[in-house]
């Protein structure tokens, strides 16, 4: 079963061909970072135009890289939400046109479900046991989802304001660093002392074993960074920037890991998954693995390869493979985008 995946929900134009939900035959991602850098964040109108200009070229490259033709694929999968409305429209309308022209079944995929299924892609050959607890940490989302089986989810917690990746991006902006903030803040953090600047751990309980809520809040942490910057009389020198990056990164990671472990224990998870752009963070990956080994020995911890954590279309094709085994198809006549699509709890 070969599926063509298409992803345009935000600022990446991506197409991929995946076999049986795990083997990547091609995975092409065209990032618009350079376009948005000068604005310090994503401009929806600019993003949609760039998707429109490149989508057909990217799909064509995905076929060429895989050495395949449209007749060799079985289905087309496309992200239908959540995301920017004008960006989603480009991907969905392209997928609908191709579905009609090539007479291939069409599947609309939830972008967040895609992030989860990135864990099934090659490289992760170990068997994922259910229930699995998924930490999805990206630029738009911070969610703890209990996955009882394929396509069966329960939302346990989510962010009440800024997502973790958004907080990285906003802190980078405060420090005069470039967009996206995550990679650069984590790079500078390597040279800093994470205990040097005292920052809050928002919505974290004092009890080491329990959490009252699995919701997150990162807006206050960003404001705390702003206050530390304001407290300084002179322009911050590099040592201060390294220390603030390290202290901020550790504050985010402390919160993410403690809540994930407490939720995994409470819901008796057999696997812990972490995915989304922020799960590419080296310190988060290392600390999560180490903490699970110590506090929940025997529990499998899986994360996609760092480059599959950020947005791509292979994860959309992987999700479609498992999705259509249970739920069937959409059609070019009925598929609808939903910028606020949630993971269905059932």
Closest to 10 (Cα-Cα) out of 76, 81, 101: 81
183 binds, among Zn ion, ligand KG4, none (CB under 5 to 8 A by kind): ligand KG4
5 binds, among Zn ion, ligand KG4, none (CB under 5 to 8 A by kind): none
Q: Which is nearer to ligand KG4, 163 or 299 (CB)?
A: 163
What x-and-dash track marks residues 245-284 binding ligand KG4 by CB under 6 A?
-------------------------------xxx-xx---
Strand-by-strand arrangement of the 12-19 sheet: 23-31, 12-19, 2-7, 75-81, 106-110
Interacting residues with Zn ion (CB under 5 A): 138, 311
Burial code (b: 16+ CB inside 10 Å, e: under 16) for 116-154 equals bbbbbbeebeeebeebbbbbbbbbbbbbbbbbeebbebe
* 139 is a contact residue toward ligand KG4 (CB under 6 A): yes
* 138 is a contact residue toward ligand KG4 (CB under 6 A): yes
Q: Which is nearer to Zn ion, 94 or 138 (CB)?
A: 138
* 32 is a contact residue toward ligand KG4 (CB under 6 A): no
Among 10, 62, 92, 224, binds ligand KG4 (CB under 6 A): 10
- In degrees to the nearest 10, what's the CA dihedral of 196, 201, 204, 207? 10
What x-and-dash track marks residues 140-159 binding ligand KG4 by CB under 6 A?
x-------------------
Q: How far apart are CA 286 and CA 243, in angstroms?
A: 20
Q: How far is the CB of 1 from ligand KG4 (least distance, A)?
A: 25
Q: How far apart are CA 325 and CA 226, in angstroms?
A: 48
In sequence order, the 6+-apart residues with CB closer than 8 A to the CB of 168 are 180, 181, 182, 185, 186, 249, 252, 278
Q: Which is nearer to Zn ion, 7 or 211 (CB)?
A: 7
Q: How far is CA 14 from CA 19, 36, 70, 207, in A?
A: 17, 17, 17, 43
In sequence order, the β-bridge partners of residue 7 are 14
Q: Which is nearer to ligand KG4, 10 or 146 (CB)?
A: 10
Q: Which of 41-49, 136-144, 146-154, 257-265 is the region at the interface with ligand KG4 (rule: CB under 6 A)? A: 136-144
* 87 is a contact residue toward ligand KG4 (CB under 6 A): no
* 186 is a contact residue toward ligand KG4 (CB under 6 A): yes
Residues that bind ligand KG4 (CB under 6 A): 10, 138-140, 165-166, 168-169, 180-183, 186, 276-278, 280-281, 310-311
């Amino acid at each position: 079963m070969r599926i063509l995946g298409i992803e345009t929900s935000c600022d990446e134009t991506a197409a991929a061909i995946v076999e049986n939900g795990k083997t990547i035959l091609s995975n092409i991602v065209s990032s618009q970072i350079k376009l948005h850098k000068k604005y310090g964040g994503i401009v929806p109108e600019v993003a949609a135009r760039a998707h429109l200009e490149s989508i057909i070229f990217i799909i064509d490259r995905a076929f060429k890289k895989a050495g395949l033709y449209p007749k060799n694929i079985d289905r087309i999968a496309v992200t239908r939400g959540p995301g920017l409305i004008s960006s989603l429209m480009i991907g969905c309308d392209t997928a609908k046109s191709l579905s009609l022209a090539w007479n291939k079944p069409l599947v609309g995929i939830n972008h967040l479900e895609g992030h989860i299924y990135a864990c099934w892609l090659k490289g992760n050959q170990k068997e994922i046991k259910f229930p699995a607890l998924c930490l999805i940490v990206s630029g738009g989302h911070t969610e703890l989802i209990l996955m009882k089986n394929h396509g069966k989810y329960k939302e346990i917690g989510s962010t009440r304001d800024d997502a973790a990746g958004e907080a990285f991006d906003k802190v980078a902006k405060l420090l005069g660093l470039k967009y996206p903030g995550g990679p650069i803040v984590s790079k500078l953090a390597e040279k800093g002392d994470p205990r040097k600047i005292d920052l809050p751990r928002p919505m974290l309980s004092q009890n080491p074993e329990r959490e009252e809520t699995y919701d997150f809040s990162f807006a206050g942490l960003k404001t705390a960074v702003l206050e530390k910057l304001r407290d300084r009389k002179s322009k911050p020198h590099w040592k201060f920037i390294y220390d603030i990056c390290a202290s901020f990164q550790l504050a985010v990671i402390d919160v993410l890991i403690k809540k994930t472990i407490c939720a995994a224990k409470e819901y008796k998870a057999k696997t812990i998954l972490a995915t989304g752009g922020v799960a590419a963070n080296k310190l988060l990956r290392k600390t999560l693995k180490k903490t699970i080994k110590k506090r929940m020995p025997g529990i499998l911890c899986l994360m996609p390869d760092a480059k599959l954590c950020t947005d791509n279309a292979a994860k959309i094709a992987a999700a479609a493979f498992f999705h259509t085994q249970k739920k069937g198809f959409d059609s070019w006549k009925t598929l609808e985008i939903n910028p606020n699509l949630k993971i269905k709890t059932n």
